[in-house]
């Protein structure tokens, strides 16, 4: 009997960066002000990495939300790959430590680069571009999606209208989502509403909020988690916003 092969987990993005050839890593960590030839700085790799990052995130959103329209996916992608998001992920990956330990600049130059969130975001994109050239898209794509998973979750919790997302999802099967108010608790100045969403006549999720609208948003979010469309919120992920708008401008959040 042939033994089944269990696939190995994808390497982390930081591990991919650490394993880059030394000359490639050096260029990805070189600021343009450190060299007389800007083409030898990280700028060309940053240019490439920006597109690789965008494609990886676009692929992940396309696969994860088959019923979502292009405009909504585009706005969510714009947030996930924004300069602010790149800076957040760069800090979390401790790229400042990589710059301090492996970059070729003087001590002062390395400290200045490591201390700038914006510059670290540029370095992150340069490293993604370098990893793509060295390892190919498939390996880098999976590592990028894993590294940006929290930013995707944050974008969903802050910008996505869960009721619309749920309706788009169930519509793929010719179904519709219906909401009903189950109960109202508390005094007039501090009401708590409990709503339930039904799909094909069966309860799919329940939520509590300070307004009926918020309780329905939370019920829709619970349904999406139960259906496996959204991941269950982790201790480190942002909590879903019950009053989330229908995808706001990506530049308005951190």
Please say if the pLDDT value at position 86 is more than 90: yes
Domain ranges of the chain: 13-159, 162-242
Fold of 13-159: Ribonuclease iii, N-terminal Endonuclease Domain; Chain A (1.10.1520)
Q: Hey, which residues are catalytic here? A: 50, 125
Fold of 162-242: Double Stranded RNA Binding Domain (3.30.160)
Q: What is the tens place of the pLDDT at every residue in 24-60?
A: 999 999 999 999 999 999 999 999 999 999 999 999 9
**CB proximity list for 100: less than 8 A, separation 6 or greater:** 110, 111, 114
Q: Please state, in angstroms and rounded to a whole number, the distance separating the CA atoms of residues 32 and 103.
A: 13
How far is residue 211 from each of residues 53, 206, 249, measured CA to CA in Å? 38, 14, 24
Q: What is the tens place of the pLDDT at every residue in 181-223?
A: 999 999 988 999 999 999 999 999 999 999 999 999 999 999 9
């Amino acid at each position: 009997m042939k033994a089944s092969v269990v696939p190995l987990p994808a390497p982390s993005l930081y591990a991919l960066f650490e394993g880059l050839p030394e000359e490639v890593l050096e260029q990805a960590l070189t600021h343009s002000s450190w060299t007389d030839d800007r083409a030898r700085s990280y700028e060309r790799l940053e240019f490439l990495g920006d597109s690789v990052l965008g494609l990886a995130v676009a692929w992940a959103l396309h696969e994860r939300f088959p019923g979502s329209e292009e405009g909504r996916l585009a706005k969510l992608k714009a947030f996930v790959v924004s300069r602010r998001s790149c800076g957040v992920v760069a800090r979390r990956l401790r790229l400042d430590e990589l710059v301090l330990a492996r970059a070729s600049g003087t001590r002062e130059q390395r400290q200045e680069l490591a201390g700038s969130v914006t510059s670290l975001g540029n370095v992150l994109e340069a490293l993604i571009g370098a990893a793509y050239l060295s390892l190919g898209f498939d390996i880098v794509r999976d590592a990028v999606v894993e590294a940006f998973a929290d930013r995707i979750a944050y974008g969903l919790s802050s910008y996505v209208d869960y009721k619309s997302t749920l309706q788009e999802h169930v519509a793929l099967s010719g179904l519709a989502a219906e909401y009903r108010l189950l109960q109202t608790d508390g005094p007039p100045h501090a009401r708590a509403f409990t709503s339930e969403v039904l799909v094909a006549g069966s309860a799919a999720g329940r939520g509590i909020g300070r307004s009926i609208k918020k309780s329905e948003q939370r019920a829709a979010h619970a349904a999406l988690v139960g259906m496996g469309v959204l991941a269950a919120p982790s201790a480190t992920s942002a909590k879903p916003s019950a009053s989330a708008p229908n995808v706001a401008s990506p530049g308005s959040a951190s």
